Amino acid sequence: MHLCMKTTIEISDSLYEEARIIAAGEKSSIKALIEEGLRKVIEERKHRQHFKLRKATFKGNGLQAELADASWEKIREKVYEGRGG
């Protein structure tokens, strides 16, 4: 036995109209299109790789002592020191 959940969704009129035309052309239903779309999205997200930031370090001795407790403005000034404007 296959149980079904009855639910209500709100979609834009234009999306509904496109779905209705496609469903009619395929002799199918909007319900079938929605189920197919949900299955595709669920399957895609199951296999999606989560973003992982790569380690990007630079050679050096870390943060300069004078900037250890500095504000972003002070750090920015130091970065652009001697570069004009």
- Whether residue 27 lies inside any domain: the answer is yes
Establish if 2 belongs to a structural domain.
no
Residue 34's domain spans which residues?
13-46
Four-residue CA torsion sign, 5, 23, 15, 40: positive
Instruction: Specify the pLDDT at position 65.
Output: 82
Note whether residue 36 is domain-resident.
yes
Using a cut of 0.75, tell me whether the model's pTM lies above it.
no
As for how many domains the chain has, the answer is 1
70 found inside a domain? no
Q: What is the pLDDT of residue 41?
A: 95
Tell me which residues of the chain have a pLDDT lower than 50.
none
Question: Cβ(56)–Cβ(45) under 8 Å?
Answer: no
